[in-house]
Amino acid sequence: MTEATEGKGVVIYTRVSSTEQTKGFSLETQERGCRDCAARLEREVAMVFVERGESAKTADRTELQNMLRYITANSKSLEAVIVYKVDRLARNTLDYAELKLFFMHYKLHLLSATENIEDTPVGKLVENQLAGFAQFDNDIRSERCRNGMMAAVAAGRYVWVAPLGYVNGNSRNGPSLLPDTPEVVRLVGKSFDLVDSGFTAEEARRQVTREGLRTRRGNPPSVNGFRKMLMRRVYTGAFTAFGGTVPGDFEAIVSEEVFLRVQPKLHRAKSTGRVVNYRINNPDFPLRGVVRCAKCGALLTASNSTGHGGRYGYYRCPQCGGPSLGKAQVESQFSQLLYRLSLNPALAGLLDVALGENLALRGSASAKEIGRMKERLAALDMRRRATLEKSLSGVFSDSDATRLLSEAKQESDDLRSRIAAVGSSEIVPEQVIKTGLTVLQDMGTFWQKAGLTTRQQFQRFLFPEGIPFGETGFGTCKTAFCIQQKAVISMSENTMVAPRRIELLFGD
């Protein structure tokens, strides 16, 4: 052990790695040993830094950083840092080397109360070996922990903090995740349903927030937090870990089909700036975002102007500077357009029959196709479990196991996407069809009575690429399949033709 320089003090650093250890005698034993070392050197202890329950995997520890700041401020009165063992200071060789350089900068010795790390060639060799063994021991523990996690994951257990909507299970024999309160589970499930039905993620977030959805800290979910929640596969009763998707041992909150239909809707191009949001979401101008300039094709903006003793609304083209169009004129003609496009009762009746026949045929074919794909998914899951078991037992190398798991995951994801695509066109409830056909027979009245959000969704559904408006009124454009008169007649004549899915949204 290096001899101390006369007239200077020492600091002591002790550490335990878990809260449980702080209840025993480990810290007291370490401090007593370090004080005995200081007494043998006939040096006073200037300060003792006690680290409770923090791991030595990283140097970002509370009391360690406090000690380094103390040394920086008081280095002239200090000679050495005393630890009980080298692994109390660090279990990472790089961290240990950086700490040694820090002590050397301030001309401090590092002393161990129980190990010989003298400032000699042999002492330096022993010190380096002790630091290396500390990291080796830490790496072994990490590997055992990882293997334990892999084994638990292979059995379908979720080993992380439960997401919103679940709580962690306390029993090893029970599910790893348990449903939260019924109201929280309902609101999490409703979040997916709203986006699936056509709401934007932000519209869905505001709705469920109004109904009481809160994080565990009692705050409304943030924009990014809500979006990340909608991207978590765990809500389907499965989760992704170690290169594969694992069926969980807990209940699902949403179906796999709904989850996969929601994902592409979370990655729509974002509008830039406040101006775009203002253009679309002003209740005074519901046609923002759907009506285009007949000359240049740009979406019309709108605003109110005052004059002649009143307040008047106008739609304008922001690109070519065409004439302003009166709000009342544009919206009145839009209502008349919807009346003209509405289906007459006879044609709606034919469409009802055709839809029934087509959906029945499609439902039968879809059920068979989904059944075949689910059988293949089950086979891939068995292969994944076998790969994990062979990896844990050493039959497969890590590289081979990673490759096999990656291949199985890619095929499984492709199958789930195909199942969602097939499932998205499965039979819809009869009442939904009846309500949709009722709306299609009187679209002008429905649009006039609807609120802003429903109007916007209805407009996007009927005219997905927008509709031009000029001096002669509304022009031609791409429309929804269900209001194309010739297409409806053709479908009613041949019910073997598979219709596109009708996705009308009602209510604010």
Confidence of residue 72 (pLDDT cuts 50, 70, 90): very high
Length of the chain: 508
Report the predicted TM-score, pTM, of the whole model to 2 decimal places.
0.37
Position with higher pLDDT, 275 vs 61: 61
Given a cut of 60, is residue 347 above it in pLDDT? Answer: yes
> Of 372, 160, 170, which Cα lies nearest the Cα of 248?
160
Q: What is the DSSP letter of 464?
A: T
pLDDT at 507: 39
What integer best gives the mean pLDDT of the chain? Answer: 77
Given a cut of 80, is residue 64 above it in pLDDT? Answer: yes
Given a cut of 50, is residue 508 above it in pLDDT? Answer: no
Position with higher pLDDT, 70 vs 433: 70
Q: How far apart are CA 424 and CA 379, in angstroms?
A: 24
Q: Rounded to 5 degrees, what are φ and ψ at 106?
A: -95, 15
> Of 13, 66, 4, which Cα lies nearest the Cα of 38?
4
pLDDT at 189: 92
How remote is the C-alpha of 175 from its chain's centroid? 22
Do the Cβ atoms of 98 and 90 come closer than 8 Å?
A: no
CB-CB neighbours of 431 under 10 Å: 8
Given a cut of 90, is residue 393 above it in pLDDT? Answer: no
* E strands, 234-366, in order: 238-241, 244-247, 291-293, 301-307, 310-316, 325-326
Query: 216-222 long-range CB contacts below 8 Å, 24 or more apart?
Result: 216/164, 221/164
Given a cut of 50, is residue 3 above it in pLDDT? Answer: no
Q: Is residue 312 helix, strand or coil?
A: strand
Position with higher pLDDT, 452 vs 499: 452
What is the mean pLDDT of the segment spanning 384-401? Answer: 76
Residue by residue, DSSP assigns 96-133 as: HHHHHHHHHHTT-EEEESSS---SSHHHHHHHHHHHHH
Q: How far apart are CA 423 and CA 363, in angstroms?
A: 9
Do the Cβ atoms of 266 and 231 come closer than 8 Å?
A: yes
Pair of tokens at residue 388: 């994990």
Position with higher pLDDT, 364 vs 489: 364
Q: How far apart are CA 238 and CA 245, in angstroms?
A: 7
pLDDT over 90 percentage in the chain: 16
Given a cut of 90, is residue 176 above it in pLDDT? Answer: no
CB-CB neighbours of 442 under 10 Å: 13
Pair of tokens at residue 477: 């454009």
User: For residue range 120-161, what is the model confidence (pLDDT) as tens digits?
Assistant: 564 555 555 555 555 555 555 555 555 555 666 667 778 778
Helices (H), 256-397: 256-262, 273-280, 327-341, 345-393
The torsion defined by the Cα of 154, 159, 165 and 171, in degrees rounded to 10, comes to 90
User: For residue range 267-308, what is the model confidence (pLDDT) as tens digits?
Assistant: 654 444 443 344 446 788 888 888 888 888 888 888 887 766
Which of these ranges, 164-173, 239-248, 321-330, 371-380, has the smallest mean pLDDT? 239-248
List, in sequence order, every residue forming a beta bridge with 239; answer none if it has no partner: 246
